[in-house]
């Protein structure tokens, strides 16, 4: 889709020099030093490594004076859910006794079966595959102060524009219905008011189910025909700009969102495949609480399949996202803008990165370590002591 020349998988998308405007550009607010790594940067990566959740929420606002909208948030209270029976991973003995060749361990099969991958799974894998492997097998590290501050900032932005309401879900189908309804409500806000935040997206791309939550989507209503602009906001603890490694990782994140958005807009959502993969009953009658949400949106839906049909119809009225994507960096202490960084979508580079990640997740190859030029990442890793790369260097 992009007319620019795409680099190979081992390269990162090119970015133009600073202090320029227009195409691939960085719009600097001040002469701020660049820091190779910081507490905030590692908090960002820790969050990416540990997120990998199925959150699929929504926050909305309008241009001009704030007018918080009443929406059902995705912070559901504990509720009984239909147990899904899945085939457990085969033991080494089973593999040895099988007639076929021995199967390598697949993190996708063993830890994401019936769940798919998230965009944070992809970005965390790109940062360091071995670190991602440690997180999946041994558990996520504890949250840092910087990570908590970043989460609080995003929660603050959400609270400005949405009134969260808990909704009781009685089944997995209920939960998925609310996720799709949140997308529909967010798109309505985007079309009528030009802006929405925390917009959930899900799609079947590169042979896997991938899901995520777009930080912000803009589409000014003053323009009759326009393509939405995808935006992501990052926070910084200190008055420094992020390293190229983090910018590359953030570019990958926003490109994944555009890929998912465009897939929903340009392709028909494969609902039958969706129901089968996530073990869902499309004819399930949704609960009373979910039905109230449906009624508030003016939709005559009763089942999960009804909701998914309206979700598909909603996607049909949208346009592909702009080729230009926008990253914002702000200071945590006072939320002042440090930098707005624009870059071009590079489809070939993105797909190559996703395929590389899938090879790792599916067990087609062993986890790679960081390249020697980025060995500094290891100094901030929680798994350094058990990492074979570090053992071989001592």
3-state secondary structure the chain: CCCCCCCCCCCCCCCCCECCCCCCEEEECCCCCECCCCHHHHHHHHHHHHHCCCCCCCEECCCCCCCCEEEECCCCCCCCCCCCCCCCCCCHHHHHHCCCCCCCCCHHHHHCCCCCEEHHHHHHHHHCHHHHHHHHHHCCCCCCHHHHHHHHHHHHHHHHHEEEECCCCCCHHHHHHHHHHHHHHHHHHHHHHCEEEEEEEEEEECCEEEEEEEEEEECCCCCCCCCCEEEEEEEECCCCECCHHHHHHHHHHHHHHHHHHHHHHHCCCCHHHHHHHCCCCCCCECCHHHHHHHHHCCCCCCEHHHHHHHHHHHHHCCCCCCCEEEEEEEECCCCCEEEEEEEECCHHHHHHHHHHHHHHHCCCCCCCCCCHHHHHHHHHCCCHHHCHHHHHHC
Per the listing, tokens 């008055």 go with 239
How much is the pLDDT for 163?
64
pLDDT in tens, 207-243: 999 999 999 999 876 655 589 999 999 988 889 888 8
Confidence check: pLDDT of 147 > 50: yes
pLDDT band at 38 (very low <50, low <70, confident <90, very high): very low
pLDDT at position 19, please?
A: 37
Mean pLDDT of 165-177: 92
> What's the confidence (pLDDT) of residue 138?
82
Q: Convert 147-198 into a string of H (helix), E (strand) and C (coil).
A: HHHHHHHHHHHHHHHEEEECCCCCCHHHHHHHHHHHHHHHHHHHHHHCEEEE
Average pLDDT of span 256-261: 98
Residue 292 pLDDT > 70: yes
**pLDDT on residue 361:** 96
- Whole-number pLDDT of residue 49: 44
Residue 389: predicted pLDDT? 76
Q: Has residue 17 got a pLDDT over 80? A: no
Nearest to 350 by CA among 81, 5, 9, 109: 9
How confident is the model at residue 68, as a pLDDT? 44
Question: How high is the pLDDT of residue 69?
Answer: 47
pLDDT in tens, 349-391: 999 999 999 999 999 999 999 888 888 788 878 888 788 876 6
pLDDT (0 to 100) of residue 172? 96
Q: Has residue 321 got a pLDDT over 70?
A: yes
167 versus 321: which is more confidently predicted? 321
Per-residue confidence (pLDDT) for residue 36, from 0 to 100:
54
Percent of the chain at pLDDT exceeding 90: 47
On whether the CB atoms of residues 212 and 118 are closer than 8 A, the answer is yes
CA 270 to chain centre: 20
Predicted pLDDT at 273: 97
Per-residue pLDDT, averaged over 10-29, amounts to 41
In the chain, domain spans: 25-74+102-393
- Mean pLDDT for 67-90 is 38
Compute the distance between CA of residue 277 and CA of residue 193 in angstroms, rounded to an integer: 35
Q: What's the angle, vertex CA 256, arms to CA 329 and CA 64, rounded to 5?
A: 50
Q: What is the mean pLDDT of residues 114-118?
A: 94
Kindly report the average pLDDT of the chain as a whole number: 77
Whole-number Å distance between alpha carbons of 209 and 214: 16
Q: Is the pLDDT of residue 30 over 70?
A: no
What is the pLDDT at residue 180?
Answer: 97
pLDDT band (50, 70, 90) for residue 299: very high
pLDDT at position 295 over 50: yes
């Amino acid at each position: 889709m992009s007319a620019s020349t795409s680099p190979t998988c081992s390269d990162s998308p090119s970015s133009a020099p600073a202090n320029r405007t227009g195409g691939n550009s960085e719009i600097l607010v001040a002469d701020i030093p660049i820091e190779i790594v910081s507490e905030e940067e590692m908090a960002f990566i820790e969050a990416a490594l540990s997120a990998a959740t199925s959150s699929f929420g929504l926050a909305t606002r309008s241009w001009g004076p704030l007018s918080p909208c009443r929406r059902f948030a995705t912070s559901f209270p504990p509720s009984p859910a239909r147990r899904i029976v899945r085939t457990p991973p085969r033991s080494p003995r089973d593999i040895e006794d099988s007639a076929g060749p021995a199967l390598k361990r697949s993190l996708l099969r063993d830890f994401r079966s019936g769940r798919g991958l998230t965009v944070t799974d992809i970005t965390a894998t790109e940062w360091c595959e071995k670190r991602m492997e440690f997180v999946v097998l041994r558990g996520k590290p504890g949250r840092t102060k910087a990570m908590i501050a970043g989460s609080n900032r995003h929660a603050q932005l959400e609270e400005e524009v949405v009134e969260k309401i808990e909704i009781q879900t009685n089944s997995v189908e209920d939960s998925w219905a609310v996720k799709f309804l949140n997308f529909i409500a967010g798109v309505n806000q985007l079309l009528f008011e030009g802006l929405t935040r925390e917009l959930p997206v899900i799609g079947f791309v590169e042979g896997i189910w991938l899901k995520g939550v777009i930080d912000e989507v803009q589409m000014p209503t003053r323009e009759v025909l326009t393509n939405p602009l995808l935006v992501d906001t990052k926070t910084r603890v200190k008055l420094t700009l992020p390293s190229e490694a983090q910018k590359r990782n953030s570019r990958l994140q926003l490109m994944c969102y555009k890929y998912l958005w465009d897939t929903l807009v340009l392709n028909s959502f494969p609902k039958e495949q969706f129901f089968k993969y996530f073990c869902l009953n499309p004819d399930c009658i949704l609960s009373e609480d979910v039905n109230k949400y449906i009624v508030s949106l003016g939709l005559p839906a009763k089942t999960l399949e009804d909701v998914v049909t309206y979700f598909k119809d909603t996607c049909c009225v949208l346009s592909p996202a702009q080729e230009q994507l926008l990253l914002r960096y702000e200071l945590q202490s006072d939320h002042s803008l440090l930098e707005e960084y624009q870059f071009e979508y590079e489809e070939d580079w993105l797909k190559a990165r996703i395929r590389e990640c899938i090879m790792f997740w599916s067990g087609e190859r062993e986890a790679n370590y960081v390249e020697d030029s980025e060995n500094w990442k290891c100094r901030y890793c929680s798994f350094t002591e058990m990492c074979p790369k570090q053992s071989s260097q001592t």
